[in-house]
């Protein structure tokens, strides 16, 4: 089967959806003629026409408002926000409108929109091209939040998101666009070539929202991660030799609580990894859910490895980024404290 990198897999999902569903429209800053600053929409305008894939003004709130209004009439808009850092101007539209429309209207209107946005660090993008905002979305009732970690999942999850009748925030770990980056920035960088997750079927298929993937089965400790951190975690597991079970959440809302609880009950140890700053991050929710549901099976405290509680700092990229070294230390700690 053909291999694609993650940008191409996303492009392919959009291409497929434009072809199969005339209600799908793609728009955002520079996504039309230019094909997007990360090339995710490359060629789509040429293939499907200017009315299916087009540029928008630099107005994130307006982009989402437009998408909601279109969605309310029956379209399935897939707006892009150029960087997840720039979702914030549209936060009110997402929370007060997209997330609440179905509920408050008694089901008369809803917003079947999928907001794509590259997120996360590791690219020396500085404060406003590196942040990971998933925790603030996870708290919003009525929103779904999806984060792929491989090209295969990226395509399947994106199609599932577009077909879903709820508003979905689809965060793309931009550090994974070109390869399964494991945090070893100082080593030879791997591309997606040869990676099993890069085998992307043609045509339409879905990866269901709300189903985690056990990307490495293991017995000793459960590692919960998503996005880039899945690969960082795998590297850390490899390097420590600990028999960890690495769970890729794939979507944080809906959350696959069954898989999480089953794994934690099996291992009795848990490390949660995310790029976002720690305090108030999504790791807190994961940690409390496990604590609530697996308390008597836990051998040691659940650990969180995350970004520091500082803004994302340009020069200190690799000090801030929760790399394999920090994950490995946490793994060793939870195994030590026996």
Ligand X SMILES: Cc1ncc(C[n+]2csc(CCOP(=O)(O)OP(=O)(O)O)c2C)c(N)n1
Q: Which residues, numbered 56-115, are part of the site for ligand X (CB under 6 A)?
A: 58, 82, 86, 89
Contacts of other proteins in 213-252 (CB under 8 A): none
Member of 20, 46, 47, 127 binding other proteins (CB under 8 A): 127
DSSP SS3 for 139: coil
Member of 1, 73, 196, 295 binding other proteins (CB under 8 A): 73
DSSP designation for 24: E
Which of these, 76, 87, 59, 78, lies nearest to 10 by C-alpha position?
Answer: 78
Does residue 29 touch ligand X according to CB under 6 A? Answer: yes
Q: Which positions are annotated as active-site residues? A: 129
Closer CB to other proteins, 66 or 150, in the complex: 66
> What span, in angstroms and rounded, lies between the C-alpha atoms of 88 and 79?
14
Binding site for its own copies (CB under 8 A): 61, 85, 88-89, 91-92, 95-96, 99-100, 103-104, 127-128, 135-136, 138-142, 253, 276-277, 279-285, 287-288, 291-292, 295, 298, 300-304, 309-311
CB of 198 to its own copies, least distance (A): 32
> What span, in angstroms and rounded, lies between the C-alpha atoms of 302 and 298?
8
CA 97, distance to chain mean position in Å, is 22
Bridging pattern class, strands 213-216 and 244-248:
antiparallel
Contacts of other proteins in 274-333 (CB under 8 A): 278-279, 308-311, 313-316, 319-320
What distances in angstroms separate CA 280 from CA 173, 288, 304, one per listed residue? 20, 12, 12
CB of 305 to other proteins, least distance (A): 10
User: Over the range 117-136, which residues count as b (16 or more CB within 10 Å of their CB) and which as e?
Assistant: bbbbbbeebeeebbbbbbbb
Q: How many CB atoms lie within 10 A of CB 75?
A: 17
Closer CB to other proteins, 38 or 152, in the complex: 38
Closer CB to its own copies, 108 or 292, in the complex: 292
Which of these, 216, 213, 149, 214, lies nearest to 181 by C-alpha position?
Answer: 149
Member of 164, 200, 233, 236 binding other proteins (CB under 8 A): 164
Does residue 151 touch other proteins according to CB under 8 A? Answer: no
C-beta of residue 179 within 8 angstroms of C-beta of residue 190: yes
Does residue 189 touch ligand X according to CB under 6 A? Answer: no
The partner in contact with residue 191, picked from ligand X, its own copies, other proteins, none with C-beta cut-offs of 5 to 8 angstroms by kind, is none
C-beta of residue 204 within 8 angstroms of C-beta of residue 9: no
Does residue 127 touch ligand X according to CB under 6 A? Answer: no
Interface positions with ligand X (CB under 6 A)? 29, 58, 82, 86, 89
């Amino acid at each position: 089967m053909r291999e694609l990198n993650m940008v191409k897999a996303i492009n392919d999902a959009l291409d497929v959806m434009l072809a199969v569903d005339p209600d799908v429209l793609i728009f955002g800053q520079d996504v039309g003629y230019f094909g997007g600053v990360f090339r995710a929409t490359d060629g789509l305008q040429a293939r499907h026409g200017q009315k299916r894939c087009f540029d928008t003004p630099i107005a994130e709130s307006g982009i989402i408002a437009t998408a909601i209004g279109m969605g309310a009439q029956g379209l399935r808009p897939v707006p892009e926000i150029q960087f997840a850092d720039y979702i914030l101007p549209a936060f009110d539209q997402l929370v007060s409108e997209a997330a609440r429309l179905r509920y408050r209207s008694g089901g008369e209107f809803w917003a079947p929109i999928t907001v794509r946005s590259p997120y996360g660090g590791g690219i020396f993008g500085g404060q406003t091209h590196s942040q990971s905002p998933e925790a603030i979305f996870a708290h919003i009732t009525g929103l779904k939040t999806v984060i792929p970690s491989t090209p295969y999942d990226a395509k399947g999850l994106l199609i599932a998101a577009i077909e879903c009748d709820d508003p979905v925030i689809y965060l793309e770990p931009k550090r994974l666009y070109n390869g399964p980056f494991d945090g070893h920035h100082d080593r030879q960088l791997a591309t997606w070539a040869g990676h099993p997750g890069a085998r992307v079927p043609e045509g339409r298929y879905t990866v269901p929202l709300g189903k985690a993937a056990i990307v490495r089965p293991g017995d000793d400790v459960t590692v919960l991660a998503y996005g880039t951190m899945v690969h960082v975690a795998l590297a850390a597991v490899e390097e420590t030799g600990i028999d960890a079970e690495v769970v890729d959440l794939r979507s944080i809302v809906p959350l696959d609580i069954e898989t999480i609880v089953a794994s934690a009950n099996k291992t009795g140890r848990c490390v949660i990894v995310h790029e976002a700053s720690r305090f108030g991050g999504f790791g807190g929710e994961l940690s409390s859910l496990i604590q609530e549901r697996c308390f008597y099976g836990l051998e040691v405290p659940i650990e969180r490895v995350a970004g520091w509680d500082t803004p994302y700092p340009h020069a200190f990229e690799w000090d801030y980024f929760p790399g394999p070294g920090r994950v490995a230390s946490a793994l060793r700690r939870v195994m030590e404290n026996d």
